[in-house]
Amino acid sequence: MAPPPLRQRLREAVAVLGGGGLLCASYLVAAGEERFYAERLMPALQRLLGPETAHMLAIRLLSLGVLPRVAQRDSAMLEVRVLGRRFRNPVGLAAGFDKHGEAVDGLSKLGFGFVEVGSVTPQPQEGNPKPRVFRLPEDQAVINRYGFNSHGHAAVERRLRARQEAQRRLTEAGMPLGINLGKNKGSADAAADYVDGVRTLGPLADYLVVNVSSPNTPGLRELQGKAELHCLLAKVLEERDALRCERKPAVLVKIAPDLTAQDKQDIASVVTEVWMGWSSPTPPPAVPAACGAPCARSPVASAGGPCERSPPRPSARCTPSPKVTRCCLARRSTRPRPGAPSASNAPPCF
């Protein structure tokens, strides 16, 4: 019997070596071998794949459950209780990575204390023209100029509803889900876009983020003005309070990082004015949060049952801190506290 031709033997050798190499690399990645990941795998992938292609591939692999194994368990000291929820640790994944809610279950296995999807716009849109993601190798970073590319409310709602029971278990385990809301680039009514997001996605979220900070959407940052933001938040909160769900999501506002001190003062003033639409012996302050993380540990953000609405009361004012750059509009508990108003004259939820 004649030996196989040289070309066939070469093909077989490449298949064996390539398959073995792939299995070895897969094992090292799954085992969490950091040196291999940092010194071999990532440099090779970065040479082969553009930044946006690499991003899409990572989302796809995570959605299929192909991810490193995380053996460490969080210390109880890292636990944070805020926004009426328990966070197993204060380090979460901010919006911008899983924009369309495709890989929440995979991401929740990587050790994050929470996952925030989005930004999600009412209608699907492509975002900015490509290229729109750029690597900065010397800084080990990227510049993201996607421009609110989104699959739209309907597609994201369908994905998240299909895993609603899984998310309920994750939330109970201290891994809440946030949904970041944006507006369509050509929308004539920005407030209507955010209200639609609250109505469609609010029942699936532990907290919602009203994103008015993206520099890639024309006119979006104009919503950070005092009058515009006041109107927007009032409509968003009205829709949030009207949701028919057992636990209404908290509402946060994401603002730009490069605002002036006066801009921050104005925004903090608007947040407290909207929140303080009633008078109370001990009015709660807005709770600051930074860098996409949940708010710092605070007794203000209390747990409790479903929100109950009460008649509005005359506005009470307080002096906000100019350092507040992102404010949590957390729900108040409906459970009475010593010295608190009775149920008949309790302040409205916010």
SS3 98: coil
Task: Please give the Cα distance from 134 to 120 (Å, whole number).
Answer: 22
Tell me if residue 134 falls in helix, strand or coil: strand
Spatial separation of the C-alpha atoms in residues 102 and 61, rounded to whole Å: 10
Q: Which residue's structure tokens are 């940092």? A: 38
Catalytic site residue from 214, 269, 302, 333: 214
Residue 119 a catalytic site member: no
Letter string b/e over residues 186-200, b meaning 16 or more CB atoms within 10 A of that residue's CB = ebeebbebbbbbbeb
Could you tell me how far CA 275 lies from the centroid of its own chain? 22
- Round to whole Å and give the CA distance between 153 and 232: 19
The burial of 209, by beta-carbon neighbours within 10 Å (0-12 exposed, 13-18 middle, 19 or more buried), is given as: buried
**Distance, C-alpha 225 to centroid of its chain:** 23
Cα–Cα distance, 36 to 51 (Å, whole number): 20
In contact, 248 and 238? CB cutoff 8 Å? no
Question: How many whole angstroms separate alpha carbon 91 and alpha carbon 142?
Answer: 20
Q: Which amino acid is at 219?
A: G
Kindly report whether the peptide bond that precedes residue 214 is cis, defined as omega within 30 degrees of 0: no
In angstroms, the CA 275 to CA 237 distance is: 9
The residues annotated with a catalytic role in the active site are 214
